[in-house]
Amino acid sequence: MSVVDFLMRALNRVPPRVLQAAEKTLKAVPGMDARMEREYAHMLRELEPALKPYAHAFAAYAQLPPTGMDRALILDEMEQLNARERAKWQDGFVSGAVYHGDAAHIDFLNRVYALNSQSNPLHADVFPSTTKYEAEIVAMTAHLLGAQASDEIVGTVSSGGTESILLAMKTYRDAAREQKGITAPEIIAPVTAHAAFDKAAQYFNLKRVHIPIRDDMRADVDAARRAITRNTIAIVGSAPQFPHGVVDPIQELSELAREHDIGFHTDACLGGFVLPFAEKLGYPVPPFDFRLPGVTSMSADTHKYGYAAKGTSVVLYRGRALRHYQYYTATDWSGGLYFSPTFAGSRPGALSAAAWAAMVSIGEAGYLEATRQILETATKIKKSIREISALRILGEPLWVISFTSDTLNIYQVLEQMTKRGWSLNGLHKPSAIHIALTLRHTSPGIAERFANDLRDAVTYVQAHPQDKGAMAPVYGLAANLPLRGVVSDLLKRYMDVLYQVD
């Protein structure tokens, strides 16, 4: 059961007056109305089997076993778990999630990881190979994203796109405080920017100012201009943004930032290892990287379309002086001098080794070919969507494709696609579906199967307009739910369940 499925089924069970009382209680004092607490308990009991499917099939450990389990048995159990979960993604019916998935590539990265399993970049004197890998990952990524010989584009390796974004926003906060005396910092970001920017705002006491998008799903530059204040420390644009797969007007936004001496961050976590090659292949790619003088930082995920193992990403800056605000140093600790470039202290050097190995083994020609396959598949899928008159693609995406309907309940279409084996993403504001294409989708017959299944799904919904299904009302309610306090509390309890022992 997905988070949305759980959340909305849960809320559909509760009478509106109880939800409203719970919302008021949440806003007023800690704790919940007793009726709501009982409802929560019932919801979570129903949720556990979906989140904990192995509870009765495998042993669970809430404490150390008296004696160690045989290694062969451990490996056998893990093989069984892996086989169950691999079947969910390997045939190309999942949006995003696994970006390469070829068995030989996975085996190669696993061997690289095993060779480097003990390395830790915190101990650069013991594991200088890891710092070599990370320095080269950063340099290769910077070169890919527009760094010229005359530029000083620097960066670090992080654990993923979220950490890269958090690091950049923390860096802008600290730089603005020291250089401009800003103590109430604000960041301007489109409503479609990744949730990690909201997380950064929450973690680092920033005010996130949301700006709307235009009809083409791209950020509104005029709204960004109006949103700038003396406390603005950074403007954000995505290349592309996750919901609709379109690239924000980075050139205009970054120039606006430069005019006001404000930092500008291009979030290329999705597109950093696709857009440069798409441009070389002749696809329409608007300017988005360090070739634009107003771009002062970028994030790009090596563990997405860089085809590295989860989780590594790169955050880049224009100049060492800006990067210095990311670093942490301690000079008066009784344990001696301490420093770390990112949030973590000890880190798995094996992941950096695997990212380096993925990049140098694939090379420019390999990334170019992978991008060609993905974009050609995307062209087929966009054509098949446009041939269905009841559907409409949002914006002009390249390979992360969202579509909606002006005549049908798009969530009913989503539900019918789910019944046909597809795991797609339901979007809100506006209501839509999207599919993030990966190399998994370029396998023979997948694009054709998607087209046929989508056509059948739409035909079914057209013929059964009253058949709301189990989840279509759920997604519709999620898109308009006003009770955000209750939703937030439910999501926290959902995460509590994840950490329960079966």
Distance CA 304, CA 273 (A): 8
Instruction: Domain 114-358: give its CATH code.
Output: 3.40.640.10
Distance CA 456, CA 89 (A): 22
**Is the separation of the CB atoms in 299 and 314 below 8 Å?**
yes
Task: Annotate 145-201 with DSSP letters as a single string.
Answer: TT--TT--EEEEEESSHHHHHHHHHHHHHHHHHHHH--SS-EEEEETTS-HHHHHHH
* CA distance to 42, 311, 355, 445, per residue, from 93 (Å): 32, 22, 25, 11
Nearest CA to 460 out of 413, 403, 405 is that of 413
Nearest CA to 193 out of 171, 165, 221, 229 is that of 165
Nearest CA to 357 out of 18, 78, 170, 115 is that of 115
Question: What are the residues whose beta carbons fall under 8 Å from the beta carbon of 40, sequence distance 6 or more?
Answer: 10, 32, 490, 493
Q: Give, for 343, the enclosing helix (H) or strand (E).
A: none
Question: What are the residues whose beta carbons fall under 8 Å from the beta carbon of 163, sequence distance 6 or more?
Answer: 313, 315, 342, 343
Handedness of CA 19, 21, 24, 29 (dihedral sign): negative
Write out the E strands in 357-496. Answer: 392-393, 400-404, 425-427, 432-436
What are the structure tokens assigned to 22, written together? 């719970």
Question: What are the residues whose beta carbons fall under 8 Å from the beta carbon of 121, sequence distance 6 or more?
Answer: 127, 130, 131, 134, 347, 349, 352
Please state the three-class secondary structure of 64-128 as a single string.
Answer: CCCCCCCHHHHHHHHHHHHHHHHCCCCCCCECCCCCCCCHHHHHHHHHHHHHCCCCCCCCCCCCH
- The amino acid at residue 299 is S
Indicate the domain borders of the chain: 114-358
Nearest CA to 239 out of 219, 216, 267, 263 is that of 267
Ranges of residues in the chain with a pLDDT under 70 are: 1-40, 42-48, 50, 468-488, 499
Q: In the chain, what is the greatest distance between 2 CA atoms, to the nearest angstrom?
A: 73
**Cis omega (within 30 of 0) for bond into 311:** yes
Residue 335: CB atoms within 10 Å = 6
pLDDT the model gives residue 28: 45
Nearest CA to 273 out of 242, 307, 250 is that of 307
pLDDT the model gives residue 29: 40
Side-chain-side CA neighbours of 159 within 13 Å: the count stands at: 12
Distance CA 392, CA 405 (A): 6
pLDDT the model gives residue 353: 96
